[in-house]
Chains A and B, each alone.
Chain A
């Protein structure tokens, strides 16, 4: 007894000094309430503070506290968050989370929140949901995952443009892309060429938090009008080091082939077209006397020319040029390795990855190496610092934009009577091929881009008290790019000049400094206050240079050092900067009444001194009804929250850095420099502003087994920046002004459900659905219609209509009497064969009415199965190449198969006018080439099998899983072109949507993979 008393005293004495430093140490273990097994990597934090740790692999934790009566908050992926008073031997049993994920941590600008406390609309996509998807870009991985987030690739070219619209288009000519922020650093979404998001390995990403409404996004003020995507990368844990290895291998195919006339059909229809033209000219080419000089002679001479060594009369050659454009052996392989671990003080996440993907088009490919180190160091209980750093190298074999003769899919224009090679084995080219042959460009030229990207930040955080902390972040995003191009002696760009070479260099440096105070405190147990106050400065600088030359001595020498003639070169630079002040305060009363206020003042260099600063406030409130006593009787409702928010956000990106200035630029005449007018001034140019109201309802029923969100929003964007046409007699064609308005109204629905939850079988589904109505509300106040008909496309701006609607002549089919293409006149009833006399109508809308995503996850014992259907409804697509490929043989381009239904004799009722070589019979832009672009797609599918833990342990592994995965496996659509997910790259912008022009179909991929953990 005495001994024990002494021991006790000794223990007290021993403890005393440490109690002075840290009044208490909390210890314990965290286990799964159902199974009792330890929960590793669970987060343990002191409530209302930033002090915390994570559990070890055996579920244990130790946490030094500064005061004794602290409350600890325990959270872990897949579990409900739990609170408990700190103790020295705690036993925490976490309950498995339900579908509502109400306790999930959501990243908001400059902080985090628990989902049930949110007053704004934020969609969260977990990194695990998209992990190992065999696509190159993180934006592609998000497709179909979040309500109201519309993702559309321009085409199936790798690493190229992808449109991401959050709740519709809110700008006409400024950027419509959301702001991407990685670990607090807003990253650059511009680059010299290609898609800058292709440089990021999204397997490193822990979560995507998409800020959709103004109250959520307004803390990013000027940059937030299009929404914000906050990306958080994986962080280290205080546990033993865990290695994960993933290996993946698969095949890439086009989703669909379009089909063109074969040689016999080509010959028959071309001759028919020539004869028809001769008859119009009043001659009968079948009469030998009339034959010389006839269209038929002309066509047959061309057939002979196109046939090369072969004889078209006997249909000796039948080349499928469409197939030639695709690589039938395209593969994807990926490997990534990561290590996570750390001690109490130091935590790290390290990864290394390699992705090699062949495009489906010949000559297209992407090869990326990337590495990341994320490190957190606790210096003292008050001071924490760390860094997140990623480095990547992306090599791309690019193909030309869709309107270049050298782009692979323009091969479809070539005649099927043309053999691929001559009798000596050389590739045929123009003039034997109808146009210069893109296959020659592929074989004898290259366009290689190599991009080094470094995104990183360092941060320090000092906790003055448990409630008040200060964080300072310095981030950089460095892009270094070299585009190396060479085109051989027979290529489109290199013929006649003995080759063409170009070398371009680009450097983009984006640096960003954030400094902010955070304050978090609970008063009297019922008043929760959480506030942020800070500043941010960002500067983006670019430098670029290029040089190009011709006259290479031999094709083997492809660098400009060997160019006999340096044709030219240039160097350019540009800068822009933002200076911002922001504040936010959140207040919560009794866990049921929520209020948030935020504001941001932004200054930007892209505006003139008159209107440089913008003020962007937001306010939002929430009411958790299910916490109220009167709701307790409605027991089937487990959670119910009403939210409402209003906010103002701005847009200052995407229209150049100096649009407000009247500018003259350098030029040259006779080898001497000159100055030429380039831009009309507008010193009053100012921010585009979006005013958004959001009303939402979050609910959980049947013990949150079914949960969801319903949101209605109304976003009015005004002062839209637009290049207004001005009279050419000013010496300019346009002026950048704040011209008008756009409204986006819509609703979003998210439904999550745990359909089956048993010990061995779990099935959950998640549906997201969004309807958006986009409407241009004002142009310049005078004009209500800016018709965009350029002969090929019809995207227009019309007040009261959606942005970029197709406005132009309405095609009325072929005249049954004579095969003329007919259009409706302005009265909408009578028809004319004169395109100039046709009336103009709204003949289509490229904006989808509704987008839907439906995902299902099933788990049976050691098998997992998940799939995602994604749908886009109500949008139209215009084939801008219709006037070439479906043109009634206006010229020698090979034609689509629908041309077989051409008008042939009086009385024929058809939509394909009479074939007429050399005549434009209905080939100008009209509703003729507009199609319904709705589609439903099996976006992704994964089937996996994991080795049971005990078996894995026997081979010294913590986990082992093999899986089969694929993207774009099935597509259901009425669109007759290659793929309904399309917007041709050479003209894609906010207005010019829904257009197809020899654009590559999307990639269909099937891969097998293996994950190992140890």
Chain B
């Protein structure tokens, strides 16, 4: 009898199994359908979109770094050990450059999050819906603009209907499916700009007025102003800049240095990425500052050729600092400081340039705008100003803030012997994208 009981128990033990024990869910992640289920989660996804956008490969530094390295001339030198930025600095970029690949994929990651938000916008509460939609559209437009400026021929090169722009994706990726919508060729430069304008124009009226670390009416206006400037549409560029200057409530900081290395948004920031010890990325600090400030090894050095451009009494010159006779930009000197994306000063200079080009005085006469900037730099005021003086002021005022190559391209200047529309000044489409989409569909840029 005892034996039978043991045998029976053994059989029970053997059969003891419960397939529910195999249902295990992750504790650090949630499924996609959970995210786009309700208002609160979609708001969290929007915050996530900002987080990815503010990553080092996108707005958190590299977009600015690439622009400055491409437009380096003899003014700055890349001395860091990373070969990826060095390739960009040398204008001999390999198609497998991992920085180039990551900037592409991280930008599209933001775009996909935005597409998901936009596809589920009806689930957002009435109170938040317009703003959320506006922010998603803004971020998407901003990402496409960042990519098209680097990975396509400039608008100023003409042939905008035939020059290749980007793959335009406006539908979200769902259920893990890679669809035919993802395996598309590149749209033209014109179509890409049209998409960017559509997003930003639609976004602007939906957004809040309050400037700072989130998208606002005025960050949309500021980016629109940049887009129009690239398109050489000076009237619209002027008007958007004017809107920012007149209505955003932003004001120049009292000193030039006060506009940088801030732990909270300055009065001049139209759109700024928050960086703290716990959160946020500032790769401009990482590459432009030195080990003494916790950064890498002072990978970008500022050369005498750049310093020579300034008047000796220029406060902007005083912001550069040196160690062992090497000069570094003072704009990104300290760790855990915010990274400005658009400053009011840029809008003032854009308005001045456009008014000067168009012979208009929208908002202010060009010379007055020039004096506002020139005066803050401690250089007094002037009675008259030329377009070249305005452009030089722009060069100095915005030095190393990520606008350099884009200004060179729209102004059709040459740099290091390369024409403004040279193939070498355009990043390659990342090799991994061409492999994943297929070379017959996704066309590589000329020169690669």
Tell me the complex Cα distance, A193–B178, Å. 35
Nearest A residue (CB) for B168: A729
Q: Closest Cβ of chain A: how far from B14's Cβ, in Å?
A: 5
Which of A82-90, A131-139, A668-676 is near enough to bind chain B? A668-676
Which of A271-279, A570-578, A741-749 is near enough to bind chain B? A570-578
B22 at the binding interface (Cβ < 8 Å): yes
**B278 x A671 contact (CB < 8 A):** yes
Q: Which of B29, B92, B116, B169 contacts A658 (CB 8 A)?
A: B29
**A731 x B112 contact (CB < 8 A):** yes
Contact A836/B28 with A568-B278, A604-B22, A677-B109 known, Cβ cut-off 8 Å: no
**A727 x B47 contact (CB < 8 A):** no
B297 at the binding interface (Cβ < 8 Å): yes
Nearest B residue (CB) for A496: B294
Contact A470/B10 with A539-B21, A574-B27, A675-B48 known, Cβ cut-off 8 Å: yes
A244 at the binding interface (Cβ < 8 Å): no
What band does the interface of chain B fall in when counting residues whose beta carbon is under 8 Å from A?
35 or more
B386 at the binding interface (Cβ < 8 Å): no
Write the residues of chain B forming the contact surface with A, with a CB cutoff of 8 angstroms.
3, 6-7, 10, 13-19, 21-35, 41, 44-52, 54, 81, 83-84, 86, 90, 92, 94-98, 101, 104-105, 108-109, 111-113, 115-116, 167, 169, 172-173, 175-176, 178, 182-183, 213-214, 274, 276-280, 290-295, 297, 323-325, 335, 430-433, 435-437, 442, 448
A 571-625 contacts with B by CB, 8 A? 572-577, 579, 581, 603-605, 609, 612
Tell me the complex Cα distance, A496–B290, Å. 9
**A727 x B437 contact (CB < 8 A):** yes
Q: Closest Cβ of chain A: how far from B50's Cβ, in Å?
A: 4
Report A637-677 CB contacts with B as 1/0, cut-off 8 Å.
00000000000000000000110011111111111111111
User: Which of chain B's residues have a CB closer than 8 A to the CB of A662?
Assistant: 31-33, 175-176
Tell me the complex Cα distance, A573–B25, Å. 11
User: Which of chain B's residues have a CB closer than 8 A to the CB of A729?
Assistant: 108, 111-112, 167, 169, 182, 433
Sample (6) of A-B pairs whose CB atoms are under 8 Å apart: A535-B15, A568-B277, A661-B29, A663-B31, A730-B169, A730-B173
**A535 x B16 contact (CB < 8 A):** yes
User: Which of chain B's residues have a CB closer than 8 A to the CB of A682?
Assistant: 176
User: Which of chain A's residues have a CB closer than 8 A to the CB of B214?
Assistant: 670
A495 at the binding interface (Cβ < 8 Å): yes
Q: Which of A464, A496, A533, A568 contacts B7 (CB 8 A)?
A: A464
A755 at the binding interface (Cβ < 8 Å): no
Q: Closest Cβ of chain A: how far from B323's Cβ, in Å?
A: 7
Tell me the complex Cα distance, A924–B276, Å. 37
Q: Would you list the 6 A-B pairs with minimal beta carbon distance, nearest first?
A: A731-B112, A496-B294, A674-B47, A681-B176, A674-B48, A728-B105
* Sample of 7 more A-B contacts, CB < 8 Å, known A462-B6, A681-B175: A431-B290, A662-B176, A663-B29, A664-B48, A667-B52, A676-B52, A729-B111
Q: Which of A470, A537, A574, A731 contacts B173 (CB 8 A)?
A: A731
Tell me the complex Cα distance, A470–B48, Å. 55
User: Which of chain A's residues have a CB closer than 8 A to the CB of B113?
Assistant: 676-677, 731
Q: Which of B14, B96, B435 contacts A786 (CB 8 A)?
A: B435
Q: Which of B14, B291, B323 contacts A436 (CB 8 A)?
A: B291
Tally of contact residues, A, Cβ under 8 A: 86
A835 at the binding interface (Cβ < 8 Å): yes
Contact A789/B30 with A672-B47, A674-B45, A680-B176 known, Cβ cut-off 8 Å: no
Nearest A residue (CB) for B13: A515
A725 at the binding interface (Cβ < 8 Å): yes
User: Which of chain A's residues have a CB closer than 8 A to the CB of B27?
Assistant: 572-574
Q: Closest Cβ of chain B: how far from A1007's Cβ, in Å?
A: 41
User: Which of chain A's residues have a CB closer than 8 A to the CB of B92?
Assistant: 836, 920
Tell me the complex Cα distance, A612–B21, Å. 12
Report A456-472 CB contacts with B as 1/0, cut-off 8 Å.
00000010100000101
Contact A470/B30 with A495-B292, A726-B182 known, Cβ cut-off 8 Å: no
Tell me the complex Cα distance, A550–B292, Å. 14
**B94 x A924 contact (CB < 8 A):** yes
**A664 x B213 contact (CB < 8 A):** no
A534 at the binding interface (Cβ < 8 Å): yes
Q: Closest Cβ of chain B: how far from A279's Cβ, in Å?
A: 18
**B112 x A677 contact (CB < 8 A):** yes
Tell me the complex Cα distance, A516–B14, Å. 7
Contact A732/B45 with A577-B22, A661-B31 known, Cβ cut-off 8 Å: no
Contact A731/B51 with A496-B294, A663-B30, A725-B432 known, Cβ cut-off 8 Å: no
Tell me the complex Cα distance, A717–B86, Å. 42
User: Which of chain B's residues have a CB closer than 8 A to the CB of A609?
Assistant: 23
User: Which of chain A's residues have a CB closer than 8 A to the CB of B25?
Assistant: 658
A735 at the binding interface (Cβ < 8 Å): yes
User: Which of chain A's residues have a CB closer than 8 A to the CB of B47?
Assistant: 667-670, 672-675
User: Which of chain B's residues have a CB closer than 8 A to the CB of A661?
Assistant: 26, 29, 31
**B51 x A667 contact (CB < 8 A):** yes
Report A777-792 CB contacts with B as 1/0, cut-off 8 Å.
0000001001101110
**A666 x B104 contact (CB < 8 A):** no
Tell me the complex Cα distance, A680–B108, Å. 14
**B51 x A669 contact (CB < 8 A):** yes
**A669 x B17 contact (CB < 8 A):** no
Q: Which of A567, A728, A789, A884 contacts B433 (CB 8 A)?
A: A728
**A470 x B7 contact (CB < 8 A):** yes
A950 at the binding interface (Cβ < 8 Å): no
Tell me the complex Cα distance, A603–B20, Å. 11
Q: Which of A462, A676, A677, A791 contacts B10 (CB 8 A)?
A: A462
Tell me the complex Cα distance, A464–B1, Å. 12
User: Which of chain A's residues have a CB closer than 8 A to the CB of B323?
Assistant: 431
Tell me the complex Cα distance, A727–B34, Å. 24
Q: Which of B29, B294, B436 contacts A664 (CB 8 A)?
A: B29
**A920 x B278 contact (CB < 8 A):** no
**A495 x B294 contact (CB < 8 A):** yes
User: Which of chain A's residues have a CB closer than 8 A to the CB of B105?
Assistant: 728, 733
Nearest A residue (CB) for B334: A496
User: Which of chain A's residues have a CB closer than 8 A to the CB of B108?
Assistant: 728-731
Q: Closest Cβ of chain A: how far from B88's Cβ, in Å?
A: 13
Tell me the complex Cα distance, A677–B104, Å. 16
Contact A664/B274 with A430-B291, A573-B27, A612-B22 known, Cβ cut-off 8 Å: no
Nearest B residue (CB) for A568: B278
User: Which of chain A's residues have a CB closer than 8 A to the CB of B182?
Assistant: 726-727, 729-730
Tell me the complex Cα distance, A305–B7, Å. 82
A370 at the binding interface (Cβ < 8 Å): no
User: Which of chain A's residues have a CB closer than 8 A to the CB of B19?
Assistant: 579, 603, 612
**B10 x A515 contact (CB < 8 A):** yes
Tell me the complex Cα distance, A495–B295, Å. 9
Tell me the complex Cα distance, A920–B82, Å. 12
Q: Which of A535, A581, A681, A791 contacts B94 (CB 8 A)?
A: A791
Report A867-910 CB contacts with B as 1/0, cut-off 8 Å.
00000000000000001100000010000000000000000000
A497 at the binding interface (Cβ < 8 Å): yes
Interface centre among B26, B90, B95, B178 (most CB of A within 10 A): B26
**A664 x B35 contact (CB < 8 A):** yes
**A728 x B14 contact (CB < 8 A):** no
A 530-579 contacts with B by CB, 8 A? 533-535, 537, 539, 550, 565, 567-568, 572-577, 579
Q: Which of A574, A581, A667 contacts B48 (CB 8 A)?
A: A667
**A675 x B30 contact (CB < 8 A):** yes
Q: Closest Cβ of chain A: how far from B153's Cβ, in Å?
A: 19
Contact A681/B32 with A670-B213, A731-B108, A790-B96 known, Cβ cut-off 8 Å: yes
